[in-house]
Structure 1
Amino acid sequence: MFKKKLLIGIVALLLTVILAACGGGNGENTSDSNAGSENDTTENAENEVTQSEEKSDTSEEMEGMDHSGMNHSSSGEVPEDLADAENPTYPVGSEAVMHANHMGGMDGAVATIDGAYDTTVYAVTYTPTTGGEKVENHKWVIHEEIENAEEQPYEQGDEVVLEADHMEGMEGATATIDSAEDTTVYMVSYTDTKTGEEVEYHKWVTEDELSSVE
């Protein structure tokens, strides 16, 4: 009888040890699984933050810069009262590198100067006459492209009517002046760096958007 009880006791002890060992193993697996899940969650969160920041940066760069409807080329005609620049930094026929992002394929392109003019240049915000969303901070419109332009340059906040036709729905639209600067503006021809398209007589690029060809 004593031996039977001893045997039962030993078996019970062994079962207790085995169960304890199994329990410990399951705890370790659970811990590892939880740790892996936590790591995945952290990595996903970091990726989402990075993607969000990238989208935000792109959005800020492109804000008000949707010029998809812009006419890259023009006829080369300019307003009759637009004055030629007397001593432009980049004379007609010379080349310069553009540092402007009015539209894709422009920044970094080598441009040929077709015309250089002294005037007041404006960035404007307007709603196209053809409907659609408001165009913000459009660059550029010159003083001579404003309907019934006054002799004195306009200032930030002034409202004007546009005669320029750089974009669909621009001519005849009421615009607000976002900025004004007296400078030399250039009409240029260049090759689009993205599409390879030849752009002729593009209006306009300001002097500080150009640099010499090295």
Structure 2
Amino acid sequence: MPQQVTTVQFVKLPPPPPPKPVVQPRIVPPPPIPKPQIVIPKKPKPKPIVHHKPKPRPKPIVHHKPKPVPKPKPAPHPHVVPHPAPQVVKSPVPTPRVAPVSGPSPSAIAAYSQALHVLIQNNVVVGEMVRQLGLSGSVRVSFVLGPQGGAAQDVRVVSGGANPLIRRDALKTVGQLKYPPFPKSFGSAPRTFEVVVQINASN
């Protein structure tokens, strides 16, 4: 078998370069530390006091009234000469004469009625049964008198006196008396009167 042959050639290498000089770094000293400056703070000047002026009050709103619109002047009317109206001559009307009314005055009627009431009350008739039972009451009685007075006519009970015994005594009292004549001012016509008769068992 053939053998492998390895050829070796010697090559001349160039000389190595000279070593570079070692440069040591230069040490730079640090800068000096500056001394701190002490600064004294200045006192602030006091601010001047400013007095604020008061705000002016708002002026009231004045509502202006609208100006009146001038009224148009009326057109001048043509001058009319008035004609005098015919005068009517009135005949004088005679004033009616009022005849005086004759009759009694209210005071005269009141005085006569009071006299009748006193006369009746002073002559009340109280029956035996009314005394025994001890009854009492008032009855309004109406009656008619003529101008000459005398006996009463149309005697009747108007109101009061629920007990028939009291009503009977009241009618008997008014019917048995004689009454005075009318005053002259009453006239000649008959008149109706009403009186209240008090009936009491103790009378």
Q: Same fold (TM over 0.5)?
A: no
Kindly indicate which of the two structures has a greater share of residues assigned to strand.
1
**Normalised by the shorter chain, which TM-score bucket?**
under 0.3
Larger Rg: 2
TM-score under structure 2 length normalisation? 0.18
Kindly indicate which of the two structures has a greater share of residues assigned to helix.
1
TM-score under structure 1 length normalisation? 0.18
